[in-house]
């Protein structure tokens, strides 16, 4: 009913608007009085954490993209390899795990059968499994050695939104904690990132408050498009895949996310007059290579007639020359930008589904949690 949805049209709408809270609640209570990260709740010995030399993430769907976002951050902060494996693939492989490997199972529901079977497979081989989960007492955390809960609150809409951002935050906390115990970063650096993380709810709120109109208008303009390409680099790559997944799931629109660098290796052949291409643009500050390369990708698809929609940082001086439409986000570091950049893509998919009068919360053929293999 409308009351349960708190006045929102759909649970998805409500849950997207709960993202600032999902992020701040997931950060809550994870620090000691002196400001250091404290993950005592996971009950894995600090010495064990210190010995970890590889992380293998197992997950499905959006949770796997949250894991891929975390890979960029954790490898940068902790200098250990992080692999992401779709749970259903992991299970039938002969994965290389040692007692020093930490397997991280990411699941909103904690009931996804593929992820559960993969975690059993890992444990049978003597690996330690840490669950990142949104559902207290569900099967995946119960069968894991430890659990780090996301505190996004119950997620009802089939398409994951607030749980996704909370999963990124939890995985980042894990990464920063590993950096702290392994000493791969200075205390001050960790503090700085934690402070930046604490500022993210406000930045997400800014997107919700200021970009909803342009997003809805763009959905109107794009209502007849039959396919979308999403491009991103670095952390923008999993964000592109997540944006494409949302459109598939609820707007039943063919869409695919690519690493922007792959464009010339195939996907550019798809670009034709009027074809919509959504591009996640990294921060222009420092004008680093990443930013310039993504701007060139926009130029390349634009030159072939694409209709380009950019997600970019406020004040980006280059993006305006090339993009047809821009969804703005506030300034933030590249590693934290997925938390804001995914928001307009979620809203866009929702608006597209609304225009088509689809059931936003219960898309055809999908289940909230897939408890069969």
Active-site residue set: 368
Distances in Å between the alpha carbon of 306 and those of 173, 233, 290, 302? 39, 19, 21, 5
DSSP code for 280: E
The residue of the chain with the least Cβ separation from ligand G6P equals 61
Member of 156, 259, 325, 370 binding ligand G6P (CB under 6 A): 370
Does residue 115 interact with ligand G6P by CB under 6 A? yes
Q: Is 158 in the site for ligand G6P (CB under 6 A)?
A: yes
Q: Is 22 in the site for ligand G6P (CB under 6 A)?
A: no
CB 127, min distance to ligand G6P, A: 19
By CB under 6 A, tell whether 342 contacts ligand G6P. no
As measured in angstroms, the least distance from the Cβ of 30 to ligand G6P is 21
Alpha-carbon Rg of the chain, whole angstroms?
20
Q: Kindly give, in sequence order, each residue whose CB lies less than 8 Å from that of residue 167, ignoring residues fewer than 6 positions away.
A: 62, 63, 66, 67, 106, 108, 132, 134, 150
The single residue among 10, 26, 62, 297 that binds ligand G6P, judged by CB under 6 A, is: 62
Which of residues 153 and 261 has its CB atom nearest to ligand G6P in the complex?
153
- 13, 264, 351 from 310: Cα distances, Å: 22, 19, 17
- Taking the complex as a whole, the smallest distance from the CB of residue 188 to ligand G6P amounts, in Å, to 34
Residues recorded for the chain: 373
Residue written as token pair 């503090």: 191
Region near ligand G6P per CB under 6 A, out of 55-63, 194-202, 226-234, 278-286: 55-63
Part of the chain binding ligand G6P (CB under 6 A), chosen from 3-11, 91-99, 101-109, 189-197: 101-109
- Asked if 294 interacts with ligand G6P (CB under 6 A), we say no
Minimum separation from the CB atom of position 85 to ligand G6P (A):
14
Question: Cα separation of 118 and 205, whole Å?
Answer: 36
Q: Cα separations (Å) of 346 from 172, 212, 268?
A: 21, 11, 24
When the beta carbons of 101 and 134 are compared against ligand G6P, the nearer one is: 134
Q: Between 144 and 369, whose beta carbon lies closer to ligand G6P?
A: 369
Closest approach of Cβ 370 to ligand G6P, in Å?
Answer: 5
Considering only residues 12, 159, 165, 332, which one is a binding residue for ligand G6P as defined by CB under 6 A? 159
Q: Is residue 139 near ligand G6P by the rule CB under 6 A?
A: no
Angle at CA of residue 121, ends 118 and 123, nearest 5°:
110
Helix (H, G, I), strand (E, B) or coil at 100: coil
**Which residue from 165, 180, 153, 195 is spatially nearest to 70, judged by alpha carbons?**
165
276-280 β-sheet, strand order: 254-259, 227-232, 276-280, 307-313, 325-329
* Total binding residues toward ligand G6P, as defined by CB under 6 A: 15
Least separation in angstroms between residue 10's CB and ligand G6P is 15
List helix spans (H) across 271-337.
289-303, 319-322
* Cβ within 8 Å of residue 7, ≥6 positions away: none
Q: How far is the CB of 367 from ligand G6P (least distance, A)?
A: 6
Check binding of 170 to ligand G6P (CB under 6 A). no
Residues 192-211 contacting ligand G6P, CB under 6 A: none
Token pair listed for 217: 């208008």
Q: Is 160 in the site for ligand G6P (CB under 6 A)?
A: yes
**The binder of ligand G6P chosen from 57, 60, 204, 271 (CB under 6 A):** 60
Q: How many helices (H) and strands (E) does the chain have?
A: 14, 10
Tell me which residues touch ligand G6P (CB under 6 A).
60-63, 107-109, 112, 115, 158-160, 366, 369-370
């Amino acid at each position: 009913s409308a009351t349960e949805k708190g006045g929102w049209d759909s649970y998805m709408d409500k849950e997207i608007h709960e993202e600032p809270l999902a992020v701040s609640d997931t950060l809550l209570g994870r620090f000691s009085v002196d400001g250091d990260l404290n993950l005592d709740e996971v009950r894995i010995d600090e010495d064990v954490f210190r010995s970890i030399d590889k992380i293998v993430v197992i997950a499905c769907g959006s949770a796997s993209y949250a894991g891929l976002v975390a890979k960029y951050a954790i490898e940068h902060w902790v200098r250990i390899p992080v692999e992401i494996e779709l749970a259903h693939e992991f299970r039938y492989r002969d994965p290389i795990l040692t007692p020093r490997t930490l397997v991280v199972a990411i699941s909103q529901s904690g009931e996804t059968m593929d992820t559960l079977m993969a975690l059993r497979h890992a444990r049978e081989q003597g690996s330690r499994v840490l669950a990142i989960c949104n559902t207290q007492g569900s099967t995946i955390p119960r069968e894991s050695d430890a659990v780090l809960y996301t505190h996004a609150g119950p997620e009802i809409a089939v398409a994951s939104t607030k749980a996704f951002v909370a999963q990124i935050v939890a995985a980042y906390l894990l990464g920063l904690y590993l950096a702290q115990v392994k000493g791969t970063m200075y205390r001050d650096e960790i503090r700085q990132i934690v402070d930046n993380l604490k500022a993210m709810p406000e930045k997400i709120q800014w997107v919700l408050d200021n970009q909803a109109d342009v997003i809805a208008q763009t959905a109107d303009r794009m209502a007849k498009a039959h396919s979308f390409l999403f491009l991103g680099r670095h952390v923008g790559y999993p964000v592109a895949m997540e944006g494409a997944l949302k459109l598939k799931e609820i707007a039943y629109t063919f869409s695919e996310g690519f690493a922007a660098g792959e464009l010339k290796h195939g996907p550019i052949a798809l670009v034709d007059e009027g074809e919509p291409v959504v591009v996640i643009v990294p921060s222009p500050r420092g004008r680093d290579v990443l930013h310039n390369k993504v701007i060139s990708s926009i130029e390349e698809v634009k030159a072939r007639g694409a209709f380009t929609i950019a997600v970019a940082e406020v004040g980006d001086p280059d993006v305006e020359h090339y993009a047809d439409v821009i969804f703005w986000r506030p300034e933030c570091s590249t590693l934290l930008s997925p938390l804001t950049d995914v928001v307009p893509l979620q809203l866009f998919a929702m608006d597209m589904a609304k225009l088509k009068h689809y059931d936003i919360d219960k898309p055809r053929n999908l289940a909230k949690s897939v408890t069969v293999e």
